[in-house]
Amino acid sequence: MIEVVSADRCVQCDVCIKVCPTDVFDRGPDGLPAIARQGDCQTCFMCEAHCPTDALYVAPFSGPAPAGSPHTDEAALAGAFGEYRRIVGWGRGRTPGSRADRNHIFTERLRTAPRNP
């Protein structure tokens, strides 16, 4: 689930509010996106991919991270911000990740592999 909005990184562009398919965010009084309905988060990582300044962190769990979890601690997570957007290949000067896609290998394998009993 979405756990962290970095106030330092966020430029208040509202993109995450707009793109979240399950409408998790509201614009807070300070202009920052507030995680208003965390329970509706479907852990799809789309907000992370779209955030232009790598200001969001979606923890990999489908339930809320427990209090004190490192997955809610911005400082501990520094390296993880923007990771998914980088892999998708979005942002200035990057190559779309789809250029390197190897999904067809697995489709092929599924087609030809002997099935498990």
Partner 1 sequence: MNELTADVLVAGGGPAGAWAAVKAAEAGASVVLADKGYLGTSGATASAGTGVWYVEPEPAARETAMASREGLGGHLADREWMARVLDQTYANMNELAEVSKYPFPVDGDGRQIRRGLQGPEYMRRMRVRVRRAGVRVLDHSPVTELLADGSGAVAGAAGYHVREDRPFSVRAGAVVLATGGCAFLSKALGCDVNTGDGALFAAEAGAELSGMEFSNAYAIAPAFTSVTKTAFYSFATFYRSDGSVLEGAGSRRGRSVIARTLLSEPVLCRIDRATPEEQRAMRLAQANFFLPFDRQGIDPFTDLFPVTLLAEGTVRGTGGIRIAGADCSTTVPGLFAAGDAATRELICGGFTGGGSHNAAWAMSSGTWAGRGAARYAAGLGGRAAARPVRALGEAGVRPSGPAAGGHAEHVAAVQAEVLPYDKNLLRTGDRLAAALASLDGTWRELRGTLREDGAGVVRARSAAAMAAHARWMYNAALARTETRGMHKRLDLPEQDPAQRRRLVTGGLDEVWTRPEAGALAVAS
Q: Does 96 help bind partner 1 (rule: CB under 8 A)?
A: yes
Quote the Cα angle for 78-51-71, to 5°. Answer: 35
- Min separation Cβ 40 and partner 1, Å: 7
Q: Does 21 help bind partner 1 (rule: CB under 8 A)?
A: yes
Q: Does 71 help bind partner 1 (rule: CB under 8 A)?
A: yes
- Min separation Cβ 105 and ligand SF4, Å: 27
Residue from 85, 44, 48 nearest 62 by CA: 44
Paired tokens of 105: 């290998």
Question: Cα separations (Å) of 47 from 1, 16, 39, 84, 117?
Answer: 11, 5, 15, 10, 40
Q: Does 8 help bind partner 1 (rule: CB under 8 A)?
A: no
Q: Which stretch binds ligand SF4 (CB under 6 A): 18-26, 69-77, 83-91, 109-117?
A: 18-26
Q: Does 59 help bind ligand SF4 (rule: CB under 6 A)?
A: no
Residue from 10, 22, 76 nearest 46 by CA: 22
56 secondary structure, DSSP code: E
Q: Does 76 help bind partner 1 (rule: CB under 8 A)?
A: no
Q: Which residues sit at the interface with partner 1, rule CB under 8 A?
A: 18-23, 40, 42-46, 49-50, 58-63, 71, 80, 83-84, 87-90, 95-107, 109-111, 113, 115-117
